[in-house]
Structure 1
Amino acid sequence: MAFRVTAQSVLEKISVDHLECSICTNRFRQPKLLDCLHSFCLQCLHDLRQSQDPSGTKLTCPLCRRETMLKGSGVADLPNNFAFSALVEEVTMQENLLEGQGSKIKCQNCDEENQAVSRCMDCDNFLCEECQKAHGRMAVMKSHKIYTLAQFQSGEIVYKSKLREEVPKCGKHPDQNLNVYCNTCQQVICTTCSVLDHAKHSLTGLPEAAEKCKKKVTEMVQKSERRKTQLSTTIKETSKSREELDAMFANTQKKISKKVAKIQKEITKIQKEEQKLLKETDTIYKDKTIAFEAVQATNRKEVTQTEHKLEEVKQLMNQASCYEILELQQKLLHNLSELTGKQPQQVPDKLTFMD
């Protein structure tokens, strides 16, 4: 029996937090990307800028506090996160379809409010039986792709947003698609721009440029994964050393107490010596414990930050189009470079007490 992915199972795999803006806690509306790869609604970023510095050229991320330089029109010129927009649309559609199992979805093609039985992917509308028949009768609509609601609800047909197929337009030439990558300027351009402004530059087709970008990002991801493994190993080793420290501390206490017990004739002197030694040992132990905890805290923080950043990069690489990947190439590589440039914290000194 072939395994079928249902709409419900698709929704269960997507975290609600992944679809929500952390500022307004609502689902993303016109999400924009900051340099740190965190996304927020366009309006939320406008409000954030007003609260931080309305006339400033920097915007501080409310999650990681990293700054993003603003250009041109400010927040509006930040890169669009079409992947998140498409995902929100797709999940919302699947939810509506699932809710339709218990409630009626109305036809969007007529004013009679008939129950919908299918969806036309070309018209992007739900259809009742009559409107579906009308599609079949009209020559111009006979080629339209129509699927029943049952096909969507069962997972046989997966709804995909048209945003995933959208080809961005050039900012200078709105009638031109972005279809060339300038290696010299490291940006996606249109054919007209390539002739007028980039004639002597190194130009590459988008598929080839995207593959090179993916290769670079993959290599950096692998380096970051290795660093994450190294950090995890260091944490384990540090934990083992901490256990050794605790054992040495306990053993030293026992030696001190045993030594004091054997010297009964000089009980007063020995008791003073015992207190002195215990105090010194305790001081050493506390100092070393603080050092261990500081090392562990630093490494755990690095692991958490690395995991978050890798998840953001992977999500972006999985969801983004080649245009977005190329636009964000430098940000991706810069973020991954930061992850691979640090070494794990080590235990500050040798574990020793007195003999």
Structure 2
Amino acid sequence: MASSVTAQSVLEKISVDHLECSICTNRFRQPKLLDCLHSFCLQCLQKLRQSQDPSGTKLTCPLCRRETMLKGSGVADLPNNFAFSALVEEVTMQEKLLEGQGSEIKCQNCKEENQAISRCMDCDHFLCQECQKAHERMTVINSHKICTLAQLQSGEIVYKSKIREEVPKCGKHPDQNLNVYCNTCEQVICLMCTVLYHEKPNHSCVGLPEAFEKSKKKVEKLVAKVGQSKTELNTTIEKTCISRKKLDTMFANTKKKISTKADQEVAKIRQEEQKLLKETDRIYQERITTFKAAQATNSKEVTQTEHKLEEVKQLMNQASCYEILELQQKLLHNLSELTGKQPEQVPDKLTFMDFEEGERSLGRLTLEEEPKVKGPSHRTKPNSEDGI
């Protein structure tokens, strides 16, 4: 039972991978070969031609898009894929043997539809017990090879389709076998064709065995070359994979270096930023102190001046003329001192503070406003441009 299941699974894989037409997804029926070596059912290709260009001389493969030139009767004249036809027949037969286990397979040699017990490999028929005995009795066919269903089911005897043994007939002379190869036309022909259409010296014809051996050697030579090309392709693929991995590594390392350098530059800029901010704070506080000191001094002077003026006012309102005349010099002196005092001035330049960006560093503080120069400036920036 286990061996039957395994055989069935193998058959299913063969069917899916090799025996199904890609157009109809059914098993091949009269498979035809295109120039690209893809095979499809005759009927599927005829429908495909109708959909592409019914009157055209080209047929595009639905799998690889390669074109095949059509001759004569069109799709019908395309070469048959006998190998696929034989394989379909062989697999279908093996499936019947496995599925029916012999109990449902009927005799194909008589009308009684008795259960088959064997198969005649020459007649290509299943035989019941009576028909097998008849085969063994009749002189004409007693030499036929007969095998049991059990032998076929177990794989002891492999069923081979008769299609593999069939000799194709000539399309121009249906009663003639194709047994000659014209090297000039690169075509398999019959003996009649050699006389009528492929005469010497214009044509070079040889027997099929000789042509087959030459063709086999050509194919083997090209297969070897293709094998070398395949090896080169695989080697190139491996090298490309290695190069790709190297690129990926370099890419990752480069990004890491960029990020590391950026982090370093950011840290450096942060240090410069803190230094500049600290210096800016220091200068600002110094100037604020200057402003506060000037404000305090001027406020004090205003207060003292107001007091003096109040004292002079009271004295002028309350003192007698004798007293005022006596104090005249002191009054004038005090008032003269008030008029002679100058307010504490803060230079306007202390209000200016700016930041100038640097090319190689964060930049620097500028504490003096540069004079505006008409026309192009040829001033060279000092070396301290990129620092404080």
TM > 0.5? yes
After TM superposition, the structure 1 = structure 2 runs for residues 244-263 of structure 1, keeping only pairs within 5 Å, are 244-263=246-265
CA separation in 2, counterparts of 1:88 and 1:260?
68
CA separation in 2, counterparts of 1:48 and 1:12?
27
CA separation in 2, counterparts of 1:9 and 1:142?
36
Give the match for residue 244 of structure 2. Answer: 242
> Alpha carbons of 1:234 and 1:39: their partners in 2 closer, same or farther (altered >3 Å)?
same
> Residue 109 of structure 1: CA displacement?
1.6
CA separation in 2, counterparts of 1:111 and 1:207?
43
CA separation in 1, counterparts of 2:258 and 2:161?
73
CA separation in 2, counterparts of 1:96 and 1:85?
17
Native 8 Å contact 1:118 1:148 kept in 2 = yes
Q: SS of the counterpart of 1:204?
A: strand
Native 8 Å contact 1:169 1:177 kept in 2 = yes
Native 8 Å contact 2:15 2:27 kept in 1 = no
> Residue 242 of structure 1: CA displacement?
1.9
Gaps of 5+ in 1: 1-5, 274-355
Give the AA of the match of 2:236: T
Give the AA of the match of 1:18: H
> Residue 247 of structure 1: CA displacement?
2.2
CA separation in 1, counterparts of 2:119 and 2:85?
21
Give the match for residue 125 of structure 1. Answer: 125
After superposition, the C-alpha distances for 1:261-282 in whole angstroms (9 at most, x for unaligned) are 4444545889x99xxxxxxxxx
> Residue 243 of structure 1: CA displacement?
2.0
Native 8 Å contact 1:120 1:146 kept in 2 = yes
> Alpha carbons of 1:257 and 1:209: their partners in 2 closer, same or farther (altered >3 Å)?
same
> Alpha carbons of 1:258 and 1:26: their partners in 2 closer, same or farther (altered >3 Å)?
closer
Give the match for residue 143 of structure 1. Answer: 143
Gaps of 5+ in 2: 1-5, 274-356, 362-388
Give the match for residue 77 of structure 2. Answer: 77
Q: CA RMSD in A?
A: 2.5
After TM superposition, the structure 1 = structure 2 runs for residues 258-269 of structure 1, keeping only pairs within 5 Å, are 258-263=260-265, 264-267=267-270
Between stretches 195-204 and 13-22, larger displacement belongs to: 13-22
CA separation in 1, counterparts of 2:268 and 2:43?
82
Native 8 Å contact 2:60 2:67 kept in 1 = yes
Give the match for residue 65 of structure 1. Answer: 65
After superposition, the C-alpha distances for 1:275-318 in whole angstroms (9 at most, x for unaligned) are xxxxxxxxxxxxxxxxxxxxxxxxxxxxxxxxxxxxxxxxxxxx
> Alpha carbons of 1:219 and 1:155: their partners in 2 closer, same or farther (altered >3 Å)?
same
CA separation in 2, counterparts of 1:95 and 1:250?
56
> Alpha carbons of 1:231 and 1:54: their partners in 2 closer, same or farther (altered >3 Å)?
same
Q: SS of the counterpart of 2:188?
A: strand
> Residue 83 of structure 1: CA displacement?
0.6
Question: Are 2:244 and 1:226 equivalent residues in the alignment?
Answer: no
> Alpha carbons of 1:234 and 1:143: their partners in 2 closer, same or farther (altered >3 Å)?
same
> Residue 249 of structure 1: CA displacement?
2.3
CA separation in 2, counterparts of 1:102 and 1:117?
7
> Residue 70 of structure 1: CA displacement?
0.7
Question: Are 2:151 and 1:154 equivalent residues in the alignment?
Answer: no
> Alpha carbons of 1:174 and 1:244: their partners in 2 closer, same or farther (altered >3 Å)?
same
Q: SS of the counterpart of 2:209?
A: helix
> Alpha carbons of 1:221 and 1:260: their partners in 2 closer, same or farther (altered >3 Å)?
same
**% identical equivalent positions:** 79
Give the AA of the match of 1:247: T
Give the match for residue 217 of structure 1. Answer: 219
Length, aligned pairs only: 268
Give the match for residue 37 of structure 2. Answer: 37
Q: SS of the counterpart of 1:139?
A: coil
Give the AA of the match of 2:241: S
Native 8 Å contact 1:7 1:94 kept in 2 = no
Q: SS of the counterpart of 1:140?
A: coil
After TM superposition, the structure 1 = structure 2 runs for residues 270-289 of structure 1, keeping only pairs within 5 Å, are none
After superposition, the C-alpha distances for 1:196-241 in whole angstroms (9 at most, x for unaligned) are 2222121211111111111111111111121122122212212222
> Residue 30 of structure 1: CA displacement?
0.4
Query: Normalized against structure 1, the TM-score is what?
Result: 0.70
Q: SS of the counterpart of 1:181?
A: strand
Flag the structure with larger Rg.
Answer: 2
Between stretches 6-15 and 200-209, larger displacement belongs to: 6-15
Question: Are 2:80 and 1:50 equivalent residues in the alignment?
Answer: no
Give the match for residue 167 of structure 2. Answer: 167
Native 8 Å contact 1:116 1:129 kept in 2 = yes
Native 8 Å contact 1:119 1:146 kept in 2 = yes
After superposition, the C-alpha distances for 1:170-199 in whole angstroms (9 at most, x for unaligned) are 112111111111111111111111122222
Give the AA of the match of 1:80: N
> Residue 16 of structure 1: CA displacement?
2.2
CA separation in 2, counterparts of 1:262 and 1:161?
79
CA separation in 2, counterparts of 1:238 and 1:255?
25
> Alpha carbons of 1:266 and 1:78: their partners in 2 closer, same or farther (altered >3 Å)?
same
Native 8 Å contact 1:135 1:142 kept in 2 = yes
CA separation in 2, counterparts of 1:61 and 1:180?
31
> Residue 91 of structure 1: CA displacement?
0.7
Q: SS of the counterpart of 1:91?
A: helix
Between stretches 147-156 and 76-85, larger displacement belongs to: 147-156
Query: Normalized against structure 2, the TM-score is what?
Result: 0.64
Give the match for residue 366 of structure 2. Answer: none
Q: SS of the counterpart of 1:216?
A: helix
Higher RCO (C-alpha 8 Å, min separation 6): 1
Native 8 Å contact 2:106 2:114 kept in 1 = yes
